Amino acid sequence: MTPAIVNRLPLRKFLSLSFLAAATFAVAAIPQSASAQSKISGAGISKVGRDTRKLTISASGGTSATGTIQFIHNSPAGLTRFRGQVTCVSANGGSIRVTGTIDKGETATGALLDGKAFGFTINTSSSPQTFSLPNFGEVSAIAPCSGGRGDSVPVTEDGFKLQ
């Protein structure tokens, strides 16, 4: 009696393809984190009552991000505005935390913001999108990618794009 010859190629091919599919699914399921390279761009305008806020951003990177940001808040109390450099972008799903340094700016009360640190949190996955009120402070007081204050406003015009 001669032994049967079994072709093992289909079994190997099946196992290889199964492993490849599982690995692809696992990589796709990992959310973006601070170490991931994220890119956010756009302008969000929030008109609530007599307050109008506009946040404009174009930044990419992770914990050593590059980019620019501009914030304007026009209210009955006056005008707060600044422009600056983004140094950290952290994305977790549709929630983006950005921090950086202000090049030039001032508050509605006339306080200068030049050289201070800022932080914002932008939510691109909610409907409507939202962005936090800014967190201002000394550079040593705002941790990289810590984001903005807990208060946020809805984006009523335009919006942000996360890539």
The per-residue pLDDT for range 30-89, each reduced to its tens digit, is 333 434 578 999 999 999 999 999 999 999 999 999 999 999 999 999 999 999 999 999
Position 78 in a domain: yes
pLDDT in the model for residue 4: 54
Residue 30 falls inside a structural domain: no
Helical ranges in the chain per DSSP H: 9-29
Q: Is residue 93 part of a domain?
A: yes
How many domains are contained in the chain? 1
| Assigned domain for 4 exists | no
Contacts 24+ apart (CB under 8 A), 129-138: 129/44, 129/154, 129/155, 129/159, 129/160, 130/154, 130/155, 131/44, 131/46, 131/53, 131/55, 131/155, 131/160, 134/71, 136/102
Handedness of CA 147, 68, 49, 154 (dihedral sign): negative
Contact 74, 155 (CB under 8 A): no
Whether residue 51 lies inside any domain: the answer is yes
Say yes or no to pLDDT of 6 above 70: no
Rounded to an integer, the average pLDDT of 85-102 is 96
Look at residue 68 and tell me if it is in a domain.
Answer: yes
- pTM for this model (two decimals): 0.77
Residue 142, in any domain of the structure? yes
Say if 146 falls within a structural domain.
yes
Query: Domain range holding 43?
Result: 38-158
